[in-house]
């Protein structure tokens, strides 16, 4: 796995991952909110009283609605957040998302996301979104967008899937596309990674769990490790436990990383990996494994043959400590 250099805010990788701004302006949301969708080309750029920038466009193709043969858009004549017209270039073709207002049409969102430069793959993808309603048809369309040649389309599809309803209805082809997209994102720098982790959690994408566990074991970043481990646990903890047991690192540092993964897998299937840690020469591994096994129901009597008395006592205290945080929130990599 390549070293990831993206800035991580771990709290983002939960179902609330997508910001309100991104959620409101994914292509799928723009399609649903717009009265008209069309490709347009600017004809003239002017100003009104030096305060408004207005641009007249010719409509070259209508995908949704009936915007007419020409439209005029206007906004304050200054560069800043929420401005869509400032960078418009004469002769370039744009994809416009429009809503009807009393004074005429305007952009669906007050940002450049509602006026996109046309690039290969963009218009066919938007046409497919228009043709498919929300639910299973829409989510299948989004999952197939991961094969697009357009990075914009791939990233947008990941953001849209992260918040889409009906993920449990994605077909086999769509699930495979999501697994492949996540695998690519895990092996390189990608804007798709964080929303795809949310997709894996929400879809219970068990097929992606081996890649997630491998990424958790390989990454040098502790924050990413926790994120990959929690994603694997939510996607399918039993598959994660079985894969980890079969691929448990032999070196001490590798087993420290495995402890982070195991701290998210409070399921019976994690017992083989935990029992393997009992044989470690490092006390922190044995204490961790003993405590986890006790939480899973193993008794002191069951563990006595393999665990020293002082370790059993320490694990009992950790298990019974009042007001303790959830075990999955502990940081075993600090237990030196």
Q: What is the pLDDT of residue 128?
A: 96
Q: Across the chain, how many H-helices and E-strands are there?
A: 15, 6
In percent, the amount of the chain with pLDDT more than 70 equals: 85
Of the candidates 137, 124, 209, 128, the residue with the CA atom closest to the CA atom of residue 174: 137
> How much is the pTM?
0.81
pLDDT of 5 above 50: no
Number of other residues whose CB lies within 10 A of the CB of residue 28: 27
CB-CB contact of 40 with 57 (8 Å): yes
pLDDT band per the 50, 70, 90 thresholds, residue 317? confident
pLDDT of 17 above 60: no
Q: What is the mean pLDDT of the chain?
A: 85
- The per-residue pLDDT for range 135-165, each reduced to its tens digit, is 888 999 999 999 998 999 999 999 999 999 8
Length of the chain as a residue count: 336
pLDDT of 12 above 60: no
Q: What is the pLDDT of residue 135?
A: 80
- Residue 204 CA to residue 193 CA, distance in Å, equals 16
At 26 the three-state DSSP class reads coil
pLDDT band per the 50, 70, 90 thresholds, residue 318? confident
- The per-residue pLDDT for range 258-314, each reduced to its tens digit, is 999 999 988 888 999 999 999 999 999 999 999 999 988 898 888 988 899 999 989
Q: What share of residues in the chain are helix, strand, coil (percent, to 5)?
A: 50, 15, 35
pLDDT band per the 50, 70, 90 thresholds, residue 79? low
- The per-residue pLDDT for range 88-99, each reduced to its tens digit, is 898 999 999 999
Give the tokens for residue 80. 């800043």
Task: Name the burial class of residue 101, with classes exposed (0-12), middle (13-18) and buried (19+) by CB atoms within 10 angstroms of its CB.
Answer: exposed
Q: What is the pLDDT of residue 25?
A: 78
- Residue 297 CA to residue 324 CA, distance in Å, equals 18
> Which stretches of 187-308 are DSSP H helices?
193-203, 209-218, 222-235, 237-246, 252-262, 271-277, 283-295, 300-303
315/322: higher pLDDT: 315
Q: What is the pLDDT of residue 268?
A: 82
pLDDT band per the 50, 70, 90 thresholds, residue 47? low
Q: What is the pLDDT of residue 325?
A: 38
Residue 97 per-residue DSSP state: E
Q: What is the pLDDT of residue 77?
A: 73
pLDDT band per the 50, 70, 90 thresholds, residue 48? low
- The predicted model gives 25-35 an average pLDDT of 93
| Domains with residue ranges and CATH for the chain | 20-125 (2.40.50.120), 236-336 (no CATH)
CB-CB contact of 228 with 213 (8 Å): yes
Residue whose pair of structure tokens reads 């991961």 in the numeric block: 146
At 55 the three-state DSSP class reads strand
In percent, the amount of the chain with pLDDT more than 90 equals: 64
pLDDT of 194 above 90: yes
Q: What is the pLDDT of residue 229?
A: 96
Residue whose pair of structure tokens reads 């991580």 in the numeric block: 8
Q: What is the pLDDT of residue 72?
A: 92
- The predicted model gives 63-79 an average pLDDT of 88
- The predicted model gives 104-131 an average pLDDT of 92
Residue 266 per-residue DSSP state: -
- Residue 183 CA to residue 128 CA, distance in Å, equals 25
pLDDT of 7 above 70: no
- The per-residue pLDDT for range 219-273, each reduced to its tens digit, is 999 999 999 999 999 999 999 999 999 999 999 999 999 999 999 988 888 999 9
């Amino acid at each position: 796995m390549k070293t990831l250099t993206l800035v991580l805010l771990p709290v983002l990788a939960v179902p609330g991952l997508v910001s309100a701004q991104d959620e409101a302006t994914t292509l799928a949301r723009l399609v649903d909110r717009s009265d008209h969708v069309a490709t347009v080309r600017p004809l003239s750029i002017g100003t009104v009283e030096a305060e408004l920038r207005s641009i007249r466009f010719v409509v070259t193709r209508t995908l949704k609605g009936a915007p007419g043969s020409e439209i005029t858009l206007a906004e304050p004549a200054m560069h800043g957040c929420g401005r869509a017209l400032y960078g418009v270039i004469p002769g370039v073709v744009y994809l416009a998302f429009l809503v009807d207002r009393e004074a005429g049409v305007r952009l669906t969102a007050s940002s450049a996301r509602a006026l996109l430069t046309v690039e290969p793959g963009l218009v066919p993808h938007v046409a497919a979104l228009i043709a498919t309603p929300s639910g299973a048809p829409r989510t299948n369309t989004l999952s197939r967008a991961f094969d697009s040649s357009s990075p914009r389309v791939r990233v947008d599809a990941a953001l849209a899937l992260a918040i889409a309803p009906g993920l449990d209805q994605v077909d086999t082809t769509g699930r495979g596309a999501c697994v492949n997209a996540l695998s690519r994102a895990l092996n390189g720098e990608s804007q798709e990674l964080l929303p795809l982790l949310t997709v894996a959690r929400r879809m219970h994408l068990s097929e992606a769990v081996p890649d997630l566990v491998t990424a958790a074991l390989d990454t040098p970043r502790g924050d990413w490790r926790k994120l990959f481990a929690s994603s694997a646990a939510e996607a399918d903890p039993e598959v994660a436990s079985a894969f980890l047991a079969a691929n448990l690192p032999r070196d001490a540092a590798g087993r420290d990383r495995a402890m982070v993964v195991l701290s998210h897998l409070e399921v019976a299937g994690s017992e083989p990996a935990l029992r393997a840690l009992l044989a470690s020469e490092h006390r922190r591994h044995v204490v961790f494994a003993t405590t986890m096994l006790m939480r899973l129901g193993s008794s002191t009597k069951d563990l006595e043959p393999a665990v020293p008395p002082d370790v059993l006592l320490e694990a009992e205290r950790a298990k019974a400590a009042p007001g303790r945080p959830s075990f999955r929130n502990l940081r075993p990599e600090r237990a030196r």
